[in-house]
Amino acid sequence: MRHLTVYGDSIAAGYGARNGAGFVPRLAALEAVKAAKASTAKTGAAIVPYLNFGQAGMTSFQLASAFVYNEPWVDGLRNSQANCVLIGGDDIINDLATLLTGNAQGMRRALAASAAAYRRSLARIRRISKAPLAVGTIYNPYPETPLAVSVIDAYNRLVIEPAAATAGAVIAPVHAAFAGNQAALIDGYGGGVAGRPGSGGIAFPVHPNTKGHQVIADVFASVIP
């Protein structure tokens, strides 16, 4: 049976959502609804089978490596009806010391390395699977911090969007869907200031809440054929 395959970081893994209510199972449910509407059968599956390779801390570099050394991750592309990628936040975290300096040359070098890894990941997906490929932009959990605004905008513009264009992937505009709505969509939102603790004992309010996961699922479903 054909399935949905998703690669990503802790957001894909479902952090911040109620148990079982992350964006991947919600997207699988939306895809089942689309399939049922397109079918002549009176009933359809409640959810499309899916493989979720989301792992906390996953970077674009690790994703590119997984497609070389991790056979289950490669197998996940076979017989897939659609492939989705949502990754990048941990790239920024790993390069934070460089990005926070604001040094233009250092920032370009850090983003160039991420861009190359991102392109490799998408190219390897394309070599194995001809199924539709959707790539999500990353949202900004700290809209009241100007440096966060500029860095995340740069990552989307210089890393994700060019890699998607090269691979012939569609963009899932997650960043745009969250812009201006972070207070309602971020788990324990702390006012959008980097370094400020969130509510409910959440030290780093960066993950979507259950509603935010639904929004991500809606965005991906809207671009997958």
- Band the pLDDT of 9: cuts 50, 70, 90: very high
- Confidence (pLDDT) at 166: 97
Determine contact, residues 13/54, Cβ cutoff 8 Å.
yes
Domain boundaries in the chain?
A: 3-223
| pLDDT above 90: residue 27 | yes
Q: Is the pTM for the entire model greater than 0.85? A: yes
What is the arithmetic mean of pLDDT over 181-210? 95
What is the arithmetic mean of pLDDT over 12-27? 96
| pLDDT above 90: residue 202 | yes
Give the residue from 167, 85, 162 showing the smallest Cα distance to 127: 167
- Confidence (pLDDT) at 40: 59
Give the residue from 220, 187, 216, 218 showing the smallest Cα distance to 204: 187
Residue 170: enclosing H or E segment and its boundaries?
Answer: strand 170-172
Give the residue from 7, 2, 72 showing the smallest Cα distance to 31: 2
What is the arithmetic mean of pLDDT over 196-211? 94
State how far the Cα of 43 lies from the Cα of 37, in Å rounded to an integer.
9
| pLDDT above 60: residue 42 | no
Options 1.10.8.350, 3.40.50.1110, 3.40.50.2000, 3.50.50.60; CATH for 3-223 is 3.40.50.1110
- Confidence (pLDDT) at 97: 72
Burial of 26 (0-12, 13-18, 19+ CB in 10 A): buried
| pLDDT above 70: residue 1 | no
- Confidence (pLDDT) at 45: 67
Q: Which long-range contacts (C-beta less than 8 Å, at least 24 apart) are formed by 125-128?
A: 125/7, 125/67, 125/77, 125/83, 125/85, 125/167, 126/167, 126/168, 128/74, 128/77, 128/78
State how far the Cα of 126 lies from the Cα of 132, in Å rounded to an integer.
9
